[in-house]
Amino acid sequence: MNFLQDFFLNKLVISALSSWFIAQLLKTIIYMFITKKFVIERMVGSGGMPSSHSATVCALLTAVGYNYGPSGFEFAMAIVFALIVMYDAMGVRRETGNQSRVINEMIELLEKLGGNISAEEKLKEFVGHTPIQVLAGAILGILIGIFVCNVV
C-alpha cells in the first residue's frame, strides 16, 4: 500500500481527525443556536463547547488503547499528551481568553471616553475552555474512538 492509503486507513488517524471535525461542527451548531448567527470561523476556531482539543486527544488516546493496550509506551505517551493538552486548554489558554476580553473592554471604554486609542482588530476571546467544555470534548472523543475502533 502507499503512504496516503495507509495513513487514511489508520484507525488512530481516523479517530483523531473525525473527532476533531465532529467537535468543530458541534461547536459551530451550538454557537449558532445560542447567538442566532452563523459564524464560519467557529468551524476552525478554538474555544467553545465542546473542546475539539480534548475530543481529538481523547479519541487518539482511546484508539491507542484499543490498538496497543494500556501497558505499552504508546498508551503512556498518549495519556500524557492528552493530559497536557486538556490542562493547557483549561489553564493558560482560558486565561488568555479572559485577558483578551478585559483588554477589549478597556479599549472600548477608552474609545467611548474620547481617548486616542484605536485597536485595528479585537483580540480573540474564544481561546480556552471551561472544565465542562473540556469534559464534553473528552467524552465525545472517547465515544468516537470506541466507535471507530469497533465499527470502522
Task: State mean pLDDT over 16-42.
Answer: 92
**Binning pLDDT at 50, 70 and 90, where does residue 115 land?**
low
User: At residue 80, does pLDDT exceed 90?
Assistant: yes
Give the HSE-up count for residue 29: Cα atoms under 13 Å, Cβ half-sphere: 7
Nearest in space to 146 (alpha carbons), one of 18, 24, 59: 59
pTM: predicted TM-score of the whole model, two decimal places: 0.79
User: At residue 109, does pLDDT exceed 90?
Assistant: no
Q: What is the pLDDT of residues 95-106, one digit of tens each?
A: 776 777 787 787
Task: State mean pLDDT over 76-92.
Answer: 91
In Å, how far from its chain's centre is CA 103?
24
Task: State mean pLDDT over 24-42.
Answer: 90
- Under 8 Å between Cβ of 145 and 61: yes
**Phi and psi for 80 in degrees, rounded to 5?**
-65, -45
Of the two residues 144 and 48, the one the predictor is more confident about is: 144
Question: For residue 56, what pLDDT is reported?
Answer: 97
Of 51-55, 63-67, 129-133, the poorest mean pLDDT is in 129-133
- Grid cell locating 54: 480534548
User: At residue 59, does pLDDT exceed 80?
Assistant: yes
What is the rounded (10 degree) CA torsion for 86, 87, 88, 91?
Answer: 130
Please state, for a pLDDT cut of 70, what percent of the chain lies above it.
88
Give whole-number Cα distances, 114 to 15, 80, 99, 102, 105, in Å: 52, 50, 23, 19, 14
**Binning pLDDT at 50, 70 and 90, where does residue 20 land?**
very high
